[in-house]
């Protein structure tokens, strides 16, 4: 079973924390695959990350440039299928041990949107070899997941624009 960690919360920096960890580990010889879900397509950032290949490889299966939540229902169905293709690719990566670290960016949102269940995500994330690490990120972490993931980090905003945030 692979080693799982989660970065979640309403604060900024979840993806940045996962990327920072990926860069540090890649510098030490690890291979990293990042699969992005639900986020608005940012070609500029994605193009930059491709410069880190072959040590860090990035994939995004969604086609739309809009946020998933802002899509009309007929477009959401297509994107759900695209995201499921991304999950199938993640499963393949874990089964064949294609990398040392697999980052599933914003995959926790798939649980929140009912696209996959918490159990399905745990089954997927735990299907890799013992030496593999799986990092999941997202805003909300289901309690069923929180209690079963060995390493959980919550990022929250305490102060923004000079104002305290509750």
Residue 32 in this model has a pLDDT that exceeds 60: yes
Number of H helices, E strands in the chain: 6, 8
- Tokens representing 121 are 């995500």
The 10s digit of each residue's pLDDT in 92-145 is: 999 999 999 999 999 999 999 999 999 999 999 989 888 999 999 999 998 989
With bands split at pLDDT 50, 70 and 90, how would you rate the model's confidence at 1? low
Q: Which helix (H) or strand (E) holds 24?
A: helix 14-27
Question: Which token pair is 145?
Answer: 């997941």
The full set of domains in the chain, from first to last, is 3-164 (3.40.50.300)
Q: CA 39, CA 12: separation in Å to the nearest integer? A: 13
Quickly state the pLDDT bin for 162 (edges 50, 70, 90).
Answer: confident
- The per-residue pLDDT for 83 is 94
Residue 43 has pLDDT above 80, yes or no: no
Cβ neighbours of 134 (radius 10 Å):
26
> What pLDDT is attached to residue 40?
63
Across the chain, what does the average pLDDT equal? 90
Cβ(116)–Cβ(147) under 8 Å?
A: no
Give the pLDDT confidence score for residue 74 in this predicted structure.
84
Is 124 in contact with 91 (CB distance < 8 Å)? yes
In this prediction, residue 42 carries a pLDDT of 65
């Amino acid at each position: 079973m692979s080693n799982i960690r989660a970065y979640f919360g309403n604060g900024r920096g979840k993806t940045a924390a996962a990327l920072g960890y990926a860069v540090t580990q890649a510098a030490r010889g690890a291979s990293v695959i990042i699969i992005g879900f639900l986020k608005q397509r940012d070609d500029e950032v994605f193009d930059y990350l491709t410069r880190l290949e072959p040590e860090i490889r990035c994939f995004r299966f969604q086609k739309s440039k809009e946020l998933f939540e802002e899509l009309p229902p007929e477009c959401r169905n297509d994107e759900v299928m695209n995201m499921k293709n991304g999950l199938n690719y993640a499963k393949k990566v874990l089964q064949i041990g294609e990398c040392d670290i697999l980052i599933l960016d914003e995959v926790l949102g798939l649980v929140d949107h009912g696209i996959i269940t918490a159990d399905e995500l745990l089954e997927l994330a735990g299907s890799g070899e013992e030496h593999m690490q799986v990092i999941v990120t997202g805003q909300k972490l289901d309690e069923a997941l929180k209690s079963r993931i060995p390493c959980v980090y919550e990022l929250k905003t305490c102060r923004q624009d000079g104002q305290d945030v509750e």
